[in-house]
Amino acid sequence: MKKTDKPTVDQHHQTFEGIRQIDADGNEHWMGRQLARVLEYSEYRHFLPVIERAKEACRNSGHPEADHFEDILDMVEIGSGAKRQVADIRLSRYACYLIVQNGDPAKPVIANGQTYFALQTRRQELRDDETFARLSEDDKRLAIRNELAIHNKHLAAAAKDAGVETPLDYAIFQDHGYKGLYGGRSAKDIHTAKGLKKSQKILDHMGSTELAANLFRATQTEEKLRRERVRGKQKANQTHFEVGKKVRQTIADLGGTMPEALPTPKAGIQQLEKGKKKLEKKK
C-alpha cells in the first residue's frame, strides 16, 4: 500500500502546482474553475459552497477576504471559436489552503491537498519574510514563542467553545496535542526529558524548529475545532491528538527530525528576553 500512496500524493502535489499562475507583477494565484476540476468536483456550482466556507474561515482568522478571494469575469471558448464570459474567482495560496481544508476529506485529492497547501503556505510565509530569515536562532525563538503565546490563547478559546472548561480539562486537552506530536509523550515526559525544573515551561526551552512544529499544531487544531464545530471534551481531546499526530507524520514525510530528538537550548526564553532588554538599555 505504501508503494502506491506516495506517488499518488506526489501526483496531486504536482497537479496543484501545475495550475498555479503568475501575473505580470510576479504574484502567484489559482483560478477557481481550474481548482474545482483538480479537486474532482463534477460541476462548478457544487464547488461554490466550499468557496463560501473558505471565505468564512478567512474572515474568522482575521485575514482580509479581498486579499485572497477576487471575483472576476473570464472568457471561455464555447466551440467554433466563439467565446462567452463566465464568473470565476482568483485565489491566493492561502485561499486554496482554506478551500481544501473545507472540502470533502473523503476525496483522496482533498485529503492530500490539506497537507500540501498547509505546508506550502507556511513555507511561502517564511520565504516571503526576509526579516525573519535573517534573524539569529535566539531571535527566531523569541519571535515564534511570542506568536505561539498569541495562538495558544486562540486555541484555548476554541477549546472552551468545544467544552474544555476547567484548568484541569485544558491541561488534559493540551496533553493530547503533545502526545500526538511527540509520539505518545506527555507534557510531563517532555519536561523530564529536557531536564527542566518544576517551574520551567517546556515551550520556553525549545529551539525555533521545535517551536514552529508546536505553532503549526496549535493553529491547525484551533482551525479544525472551529471549522468542524467540535463539541465535547473527548472529541476536542481526540482532535488535538490527531492534529499533533498529523504534524508528526508530515515531519517524517519531509525527512525532518522528530521534535523529541531536537536539542534543548541552554538559555530559556526568559533569559533571552532579559539579555535583549540589557542590550536595548545600552543603546
Average pLDDT over residues 218-231: 91
DSSP string, 175-202: HHHHHHHTTT--HHHHHHHTT--TT--G
Asked whether the CA dihedral 74, 78, 80, 83 is positive or negative, the reply is negative
Specify which of 87-101, 149-163, 184-198 reaches the highest per-range mean pLDDT.
184-198
Any idea which residue has 473570464 for its cell? 74
Q: Is the pTM of this model over 0.75?
A: no
pLDDT at 119: 60
Question: What is the overall mean pLDDT for the chain?
Answer: 85
| Rounded CA separation 274/283 (Å) | 15
For 122-137, the pLDDT digits (tens) are 666 656 566 666 778 8
For 21-54, the pLDDT digits (tens) are 998 888 889 999 999 998 888 899 999 999 999 9
In the predicted structure, residue 272 carries a pLDDT above the cut 50: yes
pLDDT at 122: 60
- Given a contact cutoff of 8 angstroms between Cβ atoms, the answer to whether 141 and 205 are in contact is no
Average pLDDT over residues 58-73: 88
